[in-house]
Amino acid sequence: MVKMERAIQEAEKHLQVENGQFTLKAKRGADIGIDEDIFAQLNAAVQETNQELKSGKLKLSEVRQKTAISDEVTREASDAELTPTLSELQAMNQEKSETRAAGCPGRNGATSHWWGTRVFLNKCRTADLILALEAGVAAAAIVALIPGPGTVGGGVAAALMGLGAAYLSYLNDRNWDRGIRILMPKRGPPAVWHQ
């Protein structure tokens, strides 16, 4: 997880938008200090995002160009990098009231980035997910717990089922029950870590 997050952070230093399309200015991972395999995955994600932009499946305004990776990065990021879209603001407001009412630390939500999607599950949704995995429920029931588009939920569900309840409990407990975050790159395996 950390290796992918750091690679994303480095790649974003070389990411530009020209004529409504993303361009990664580096030619190789070694040029920017990241693993060549991860660089290839990120470069393929740029191409896939550009195709989605051309086809109209995505709008440039819906795709984040900067990724706040951790609390340290979030504190250093500029307001422009962290400004949520209108739909994200609406979802966050609803989630804040649900979190306060239910006493569920962490956040729920999904954000779309040039490299893929990041999903957050708070303490309560993570606990529900762990119970669902322990009970052996079908993927469709797990998808219902995942915020974001259905295709993202399906991919996340498959990844989470593969990881299992014990690992997710471990991650959730590592950060005092604040939930988990999931990176779903367009290319390469998903990664799960605590919030």
Q: How many domains does the chain divide into? A: 2
Query: If pLDDT is split at 50, 70 and 90, which confidence band does 98 have?
Result: low
Tell me if 91 is assigned to some domain: yes
Model pTM score: 0.71
The predicted pLDDT at position 94 comes to: 56
The predicted pLDDT at position 183 comes to: 86
Residues 53 and 114 in one domain: no
Q: Best-predicted range by mean pLDDT among 63-67, 91-95, 173-177, 191-195? A: 63-67
Three-class DSSP category at 169? helix
The predicted pLDDT at position 22 comes to: 97
Tell me if 155 is assigned to some domain: yes
Tell me if 90 is assigned to some domain: yes
Residue of higher predicted confidence among 69 and 100:
69
What does each C-alpha distance from 89 to 85, 101, 114, 146, 182 come to in angstroms?
6, 18, 19, 18, 20
